[in-house]
Amino acid sequence: MRDVAIIGVGITNCGEIWEKSMRDMFVEAGLAAIDDASVDHIDSMYVGCMSGGLFVGQEHIGPLMADYLGQAPIPATRVESACASGGAALRCGYLDVASGASDVVLVGGVEKMNDVSGDDATYALATASDQEWEAFNGVTFPGLYAMMAVAHMHKYGTTPEQLAAVAVKNHDNGSLNPVAQFPMKITVEGVLNSVLVADPLHILDCSPVTDGAAAVILCPADMAAKLGGKTPVKIIGSGHATDTIALHSRADMTTLNAVTKSAGKAYEMSGKGPKDIDVCEVHDCFTIAEIIVSEDLGFFEKGKGGAAVEAGDTRIGGKIPLNTSGGLKSKGHPVGASGVAQAVEIVKQLRGEADKRQVKGAKVGMTQNMGGTGASSVVHVMEVM
Amino acid sequence: MRDVAIIGVGITNCGEIWEKSMRDMFVEAGLAAIDDASVDHIDSMYVGCMSGGLFVGQEHIGPLMADYLGQAPIPATRVESACASGGAALRCGYLDVASGASDVVLVGGVEKMNDVSGDDATYALATASDQEWEAFNGVTFPGLYAMMAVAHMHKYGTTPEQLAAVAVKNHDNGSLNPVAQFPMKITVEGVLNSVLVADPLHILDCSPVTDGAAAVILCPADMAAKLGGKTPVKIIGSGHATDTIALHSRADMTTLNAVTKSAGKAYEMSGKGPKDIDVCEVHDCFTIAEIIVSEDLGFFEKGKGGAAVEAGDTRIGGKIPLNTSGGLKSKGHPVGASGVAQAVEIVKQLRGEADKRQVKGAKVGMTQNMGGTGASSVVHVMEVM
Contact A242 B76 (CB under 8 A): yes
Tell me, what's the pLDDT at A48?
98
Burial of B284-300, coded b for 16+ CB within 10 Å and e otherwise, reads bbbbbbbbbbbbbbbbb
Contact B124 A77 (CB under 8 A): no
Q: Which tens digit of pLDDT belongs to each residue from A330-371?
A: 999 999 999 999 999 999 999 999 999 999 999 999 999 999
Q: What confidence tier does B256 reach under pLDDT thresholds 50, 70, 90? A: very high
Phi-psi map region of A70: left, alpha, beta (phi>0 left; psi -120 to 50 alpha):
left
Domains and CATH numbers, chain A: 4-117+210-233 (3.40.47.10), 128-206+236-384 (3.40.47.10)
Rounded distance, CA B209 to CA B15, Å? 8
Q: Which tens digit of pLDDT belongs to each residue from A285-297?
A: 999 999 999 999 9
Taking CA–CA distances from A49, the nearest residue in chain B reads B80
- Chain B residues in contact with A130 (beta carbon < 8 A): 64
Burial of A35-60, coded b for 16+ CB within 10 Å and e otherwise, reads ebbebeebbbbbbbbbbbbbbbbbbb
Nearest Cβ partner of B127 from A58, A135, A240?
A58
- Chain A residues in contact with B132 (beta carbon < 8 A): 21, 23, 58
Average pLDDT, chain B: 97
Tell me, what's the pLDDT at B253?
96
Nearest Cβ partner of B73 from A59, A78, A258?
A258
- Which residues face A377 on adjacent strands? A241, A370
Taking CA–CA distances from A377, the nearest residue in chain B reads B75
Tell me, what's the pLDDT at B217?
98
Q: What confidence tier does B262 reach under pLDDT thresholds 50, 70, 90? A: very high
Q: Is B18 helix (H, G, I), strand (E, B) or coil?
A: coil
- The kind and range of the H/E element at B240 are strand B233-242
First to last CA, chain B: 18
Size of interface A-B (CB pairs under 8 A): 221
ipTM of the complex: 0.97
Q: Which tens digit of pLDDT belongs to each residue from B200-229?
A: 999 999 999 999 999 999 999 999 999 989
Mutate to test the interface with A, among B80, B111, B113, B373 (most CBs of A within 10 A): B80
Distance from CA of B80 to the nearest CA of A (A): 5
Tell me, what's the pLDDT at A156?
98
Average pLDDT, chain A: 97
Tell me, what's the pLDDT at A155?
98
Query: Beta-carbon neighbour count of residue A186 at 10 Å?
Result: 21
Query: What Å distances lie between residue B263 and A86, B54, B239, CA to CA?
Result: 29, 31, 6
Contact A63 B124 (CB under 8 A): no
Q: Is B223 helix (H, G, I), strand (E, B) or coil?
A: helix
Tell me, what's the pLDDT at A240?
98
- Chain A residues in contact with B376 (beta carbon < 8 A): 60, 62-63, 76
Number of H helices, E strands in chain B: 14, 11
Tell me, what's the pLDDT at A13?
98
Tell me, what's the pLDDT at A265?
98
Q: Is A26 helix (H, G, I), strand (E, B) or coil?
A: helix
Rounded distance, CA B217 to CA B315, Å? 29
Q: Which tens digit of pLDDT belongs to each residue from A242-284?
A: 999 999 999 999 999 999 999 999 999 999 999 999 999 999 9
Rounded distance, CA A369 to CA A373, Å? 11
Cis status, amide bond into B334, omega within 30 of 0: no
Distance from CA of A161 to the nearest CA of B (A): 32
Tell me, what's the pLDDT at B226?
94
Contact A53 B53 (CB under 8 A): yes
Across the range B166-191, mean pLDDT stands at: 98
B333 belongs to the catalytic site:
yes
Rounded distance, CA A321 to CA A310, Å? 13
Across the range A39-63, mean pLDDT stands at: 97
Query: Beta-carbon neighbour count of residue B339 at 10 Å?
Result: 32
**CA-wise closest residue to B52 among A378, A124, A243, A231:** A124
Between positions 48 and 77 of A, the ones with CB within 8 A of B are 50-54, 56-64, 66-67, 71-77
Between positions 192 and 251 of B, the ones with CB within 8 A of A are 238, 240-246, 249
Q: Decide: B116 and B57 in contact? Cβ < 8 Å.
A: no
Rounded distance, CA A197 to CA A288, Å? 14
Between positions 16 and 55 of B, the ones with CB within 8 A of A are 21, 23, 44, 50-54
Contact A127 B53 (CB under 8 A): yes
Contact A58 B242 (CB under 8 A): no
Q: What confidence tier does B304 reach under pLDDT thresholds 50, 70, 90? A: very high
Mutate to test the interface with A, among B22, B132, B245, B268 (most CBs of A within 10 A): B245
Query: What is the dihedral sign for C-alpha A247, B68, A342, A351?
Result: positive
Contact A375 B88 (CB under 8 A): no
Percent of chain B with pLDDT strictly greater than 90:
100
Percent of chain B with pLDDT strictly greater than 70:
100
Tell me, what's the pLDDT at A51?
97
Taking CA–CA distances from B245, the nearest residue in chain A reads A64
Q: Which tens digit of pLDDT belongs to each residue from B138-153?
A: 999 999 999 999 999 9
Q: Which tens digit of pLDDT belongs to each residue from B92-129?
A: 999 999 999 999 999 999 999 999 999 999 999 999 99
A83 belongs to the catalytic site:
yes
**Total residues found in chain B within this entry:** 385
Tell me, what's the pLDDT at A205?
98
Q: What does A53-69 look like in DSSP terms, one character per residue?
A: HHHHS---HHHHHHHHT
Tell me, what's the pLDDT at A70?
97
Contact B127 A372 (CB under 8 A): no
Contact A64 B135 (CB under 8 A): no
- The kind and range of the H/E element at A332 are none
**CA B21: distance to chain centroid?**
21
Distance from CA of B229 to the nearest CA of A (A): 26
**Which of B14, B83, B92, B206 does the annotation list as catalytic?**
B83
Tell me, what's the pLDDT at A73?
98
Query: Beta-carbon neighbour count of residue A347 at 10 Å?
Result: 26
Between positions 111 and 170 of B, the ones with CB within 8 A of A are 123-124, 127-132, 135-136
Tell me, what's the pLDDT at A301?
98
Contact A73 B372 (CB under 8 A): no
B99 touches chain A (CB under 8 A): yes
- Chain A residues in contact with B72 (beta carbon < 8 A): 241-244, 258, 375
Across the range A222-227, mean pLDDT stands at: 95
Q: What confidence tier does A72 reach under pLDDT thresholds 50, 70, 90? A: very high
Burial of B186-224, coded b for 16+ CB within 10 Å and e otherwise, reads bebebbbebeebbebbbebbbbbbbbbbbbbbbbbbebb
- Chain B residues in contact with A129 (beta carbon < 8 A): 60
Across the range B5-30, mean pLDDT stands at: 98
Contact B80 A59 (CB under 8 A): yes
Phi-psi map region of A28: left, alpha, beta (phi>0 left; psi -120 to 50 alpha):
alpha
Q: Decide: B131 and A56 in contact? Cβ < 8 Å.
A: yes
Q: Residue A290 burial (CB < 10 Å; 0-12/13-18/19+)?
A: buried
Mutate to test the interface with A, among B110, B242, B265, B380 (most CBs of A within 10 A): B242
Record the pTM: 0.98
Contact A74 B241 (CB under 8 A): yes
Q: Which tens digit of pLDDT belongs to each residue from A298-331?
A: 999 999 999 999 999 999 999 999 999 999 999 9
Contact B242 A67 (CB under 8 A): yes
